[in-house]
Amino acid sequence: MLITDLCVGCTRCVPYCPSGAISIGKDKKAHIDRNKCVECSVCYNNANCPVNAIQPEELEWPRSVREVFATVYKEHKQTNVPGRGTEEMKTNDVTGRFRPGEVGFSVDMGRPGVGVDLKDVEKLTMALAKVGVEFEPLNPLTFLMSDKKTGKLRDDVLSERVHSCIPEFKIKEEKFPEVLETLQRVSKEINSVFSLGICVKVNPDGSVPIMKYLNEHNIYYLPNGKTNIGIGKPAAKF
């Protein structure tokens, strides 16, 4: 929250906003565009306002959705996981989420300076649901779905905008081309950006199962992810 009456127009807070939500008005004071603001608290924590015009605010639902997706110190009540997603694929050696013959995905939507509207996220999740993906149950975005079978998000959050979020899901390997086509198609329908993370078990001969699909479709990729070498032991429940 920015208390405009206290503002002296020093502009110190403006460059700290990752969403471009803060601007100086004709009155020479700072103003926050509430639609652009993702409640990340970067301005409050870093700008050092000389007159304390920026103050923390107790957010009500559904506005509070913005805050938990933008900060690492706020946990989602349903999952007890802070931030945008779970520990994701990097822990697959101990979680065993993705087995041989399965492909795990994370779709990192938004990011600083761009953000993403949850109504655009819904376009992606509903399109993926039609393909038959299995959404990660502990992902905070999954808890915002009113219908996990269709990927439909709750109506009361569709007007919210977040810094970024990470839909996570898995599929059987044979669905990989169909999922790629869906992601490419939906990417042209949303007003944001996203990057794709993929996790698979390496074959005994060292080959990577999905490389043939990526190469066949001339999809550019960076093989710069985590490579687990089997030191970790899967959790007992797996």
- Domain membership of residue 44 (yes or no) is yes
Q: What is the mean pLDDT of residues 203-220?
A: 86
Q: Which of 10-19, 100-109, 145-154, 205-214 has the lowest mean pLDDT?
A: 205-214
Nearest Cα neighbor of 52 from 15, 111, 7 is 7
- Domain membership of residue 72 (yes or no) is no
**In a shared domain, residues 90 and 128:** yes
- Domain membership of residue 49 (yes or no) is yes
The kind and range of the H/E element at 95 are helix 92-95
**In a shared domain, residues 111 and 42:** no
CATH number of the domain to which 3 belongs: 3.30.70.20
Q: What is the pTM of this model?
A: 0.86
Q: What is the mean pLDDT of residues 110-134?
A: 94
**In a shared domain, residues 53 and 86:** no
Q: What is the pLDDT of residue 238?
A: 40
- Domain membership of residue 90 (yes or no) is yes
Distance CA 4, CA 49 (A): 12
**In a shared domain, residues 8 and 39:** yes
**In a shared domain, residues 22 and 99:** no
CATH number of the domain to which 109 belongs: 3.30.70
Selected residue with higher pLDDT from 228 and 190: 190
Per-chain mean pLDDT for the chain:
87
**In a shared domain, residues 109 and 209:** yes
47: containing domain: 1-57
**In a shared domain, residues 148 and 196:** yes
**In a shared domain, residues 106 and 140:** yes
Q: How many domains does the chain have?
A: 2
- Domain membership of residue 63 (yes or no) is no
Backbone angles phi, psi at 189, to 5 degrees: -105, -5
**In a shared domain, residues 43 and 95:** no
**In a shared domain, residues 94 and 32:** no
Q: What is the pLDDT of residue 161?
A: 95
**In a shared domain, residues 124 and 198:** yes
Contact 216, 142 (CB under 8 A): no
Contact 43, 16 (CB under 8 A): yes
Instruction: Name every residue whose Cβ is closer than 8 Å to that of residue 7 and which is 6 or more positions away in sequence.
Output: 29, 30, 51, 53
